[in-house]
Chain A
């Protein structure tokens, strides 16, 4: 599976597995909704 890209200053690259896990831990989803989300 291709992981999302990140930008670190001027560098753009695919994120590492560790970076991807951090992103998933924040609750990130590939597709969003139009609802105002809440943080629990």
Chain B
């Protein structure tokens, strides 16, 4: 049961407490603290049948140089090698003009952030649907660094189940930051 309304005088048992604490809407799955000097990071076994939809949170990501980040999915240790399509829109902070750019065109991954990083950190929230289901996976994200805001959308056009994610820089290496995966409770 996802929701329980307790009444005055009703005994709140330990079992009830544990059940309803565990029944929160968004459930922590896994976090990775990025080590300095790596070109890509893998979060393995973070998608499973417990959840269909996920939030992927990128916090204070710093990279060695200005670069873009490609998001791809993993089946075990094997990353997608093609099939990503997407578009990103960006606007200078304080500006009002949005510019679109290709985020993927049958690529191994799709941008989940473009031209970010170097000496300034960026953070992002991604909504990810159905990576573990044998259907198309899709994501939407918003990212902000000290210069630009970006919104992007992408899908992976294969009816394949994936259990992990990979974030790859287009150049240079990661310096720091963390990536956290949460699952949306289904019922």
Which residues of A are interface residues toward B (Cβ below 8 A)? 4-10, 12, 15, 22-23, 25-40
Closest-CB distance, B165 to chain A (whole angstroms): 11
Once the chains bind, are A39 and B105 in contact (CB under 8 Å)?
A: yes
A39 to B106 Cα, complex, angstroms: 10
Once the chains bind, are B171 and A5 in contact (CB under 8 Å)?
A: no
A9 to B42 Cα, complex, angstroms: 6
Main secondary structure on A side of the interface with B: loop
How large, as a class, is the contact surface on chain B?
35 or more
Check B157 for interface membership: any CB of A closer than 8 A: no
* Chain B residues closer than 8 Å to A12, beta-carbon distance: 35, 37-38
- Pull 28 A–B residue pairs with CB atoms less than 8 Å apart, ordered by A: A4-B38, A4-B39, A5-B39, A6-B40, A6-B41, A7-B35, A7-B42, A8-B41, A8-B77, A12-B37, A15-B39, A22-B108, A26-B107, A26-B108, A26-B109, A26-B170, A28-B168, A28-B169, A32-B66, A32-B67, A32-B170, A32-B171, A33-B171, A36-B90, A36-B114, A37-B115, A39-B101, A40-B105
Once the chains bind, are B39 and A28 in contact (CB under 8 Å)?
A: yes
* Chain B residues closer than 8 Å to A33, beta-carbon distance: 66, 171
Check B120 for interface membership: any CB of A closer than 8 A: no
Which residues of B are interface residues toward A (Cβ below 8 A)? 32, 34-35, 37-44, 65-68, 70, 77, 79, 81, 90, 101-105, 107-109, 111, 114-115, 168-174
Closest-CB distance, A27 to chain B (whole angstroms): 6
Once the chains bind, are A31 and B44 in contact (CB under 8 Å)?
A: no
Once the chains bind, are B68 and A37 in contact (CB under 8 Å)?
A: yes
B40, B41, B65: which contacts A31 (Cβ < 8 A)?
A: B65
A10, A28, A29, A39: which contacts B107 (Cβ < 8 A)?
A: A39
Once the chains bind, are B107 and A9 in contact (CB under 8 Å)?
A: no
Q: Which 4 A-B pairs have the closest CB atoms?
A: A32-B171, A32-B65, A4-B39, A7-B38
Most buried by B among A25, A33, A37, A40: A37
* Chain A residues closer than 8 Å to B108, beta-carbon distance: 22, 25-26
Once the chains bind, are B170 and A9 in contact (CB under 8 Å)?
A: no
